[in-house]
Amino acid sequence: MTEEYCLPIRVYVEDTDAGGIVYYANYLKYIERARTELIRTLGYDKPALFNGLLFVVHSVEIKYRKPAVLDDEILATAKLIKVSRTSFTIAQRVLRGGDVLVDAEVKVACIDQETKRPAGIPSDMLQALKAAL
């Protein structure tokens, strides 16, 4: 089973709304960074583009549980939980200490760069993803 990748993040003024609470869309940025770094640990430095293929977010299920606020130290996590021929799914969280602030599940699909239709994940990457499960 893959390890959970943890990315430390500090909350800055630019991340917050007028009330000093992290703006909801910024959590998507945080988990995107953690997801990218998880894929980087598997040896893929440019996961968005791969020889005529693109990796795109197919769907996101997200639950906001508690707010992060200005100057918090938080962790964005990513853990691979499912792999298929054309997609993979990652469970993600944003944490502050022992508190879960956000739970998310993100499905990433492989598509052909020109047609934008589903495509098979390259075999070497597919093997690396399956080995990481």
Structure tokens at 103: 């739970």
Q: Is 124 annotated in the active site? A: no
Structure tokens at 26: 């910024």
Residues 6+ apart with CB under 8 A from 81: 89, 90, 91, 105, 133
From the candidates 17, 71, 99, 112, give the one annotated as an active-site residue: 17
Q: Tell me how many degrees the CA angle 36-7-99 measures, rounded to the nearest 5.
A: 125
Catalytic residues: 17
